[in-house]
């Protein structure tokens, strides 16, 4: 795990693959005064979409964070290739 402060943004990187999800390669957490961003890296957009449709994401992750959210989460899939 890498934990550092870059220009007022607390940056945590976890490079250990989550073996529960196909194509998962990384997770990064950006903590800023105005928001928190969780960036997941996957091998493909299809792998990311499958994770977003999974029971773990929808029933456990989103539901578990519901009380901490001030608005609906913004979920986006970006492709670097």
Q: What is the DSSP string of 34-75?
A: S-EEEEEEESSHHHHHHHHTSHIIIIIIHHHHGGG-SSPPP-
Residue with the bigger pLDDT between 13 and 78: it is 78
Q: Is the pTM of this model over 0.85?
A: no
* pLDDT over threshold 60, residue 4: no
26-58 pLDDT, tens per residue? 888 887 788 888 888 899 999 999 999 988 888
Beta partners for residue 3, in sequence order: 12
What would the two tokens of residue 34 be? 């105005």
Residue 28: which of 45, 7, 13, 8 has the closest Cα? 13
Round the average pLDDT of the chain to a whole number and report it: 77
CA–CA dist 2, 63 (Å, integer): 27
* pLDDT over threshold 70, residue 14: no
């Amino acid at each position: 795990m890498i934990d550092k402060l870059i220009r007022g943004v607390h940056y945590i990187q976890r490079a250990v693959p989550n073996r529960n999800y196909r194509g998962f390669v990384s997770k990064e957490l950006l903590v800023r005064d105005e928001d928190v961003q969780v960036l997941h890296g996957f091998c493909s957009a299809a792998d990311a979409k499958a994770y977003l449709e999974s029971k773990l994401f929808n029933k456990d992750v989103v539901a578990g964070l519901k009380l901490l959210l001030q608005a609906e989460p913004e979920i986006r899939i970006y492709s670097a290739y």
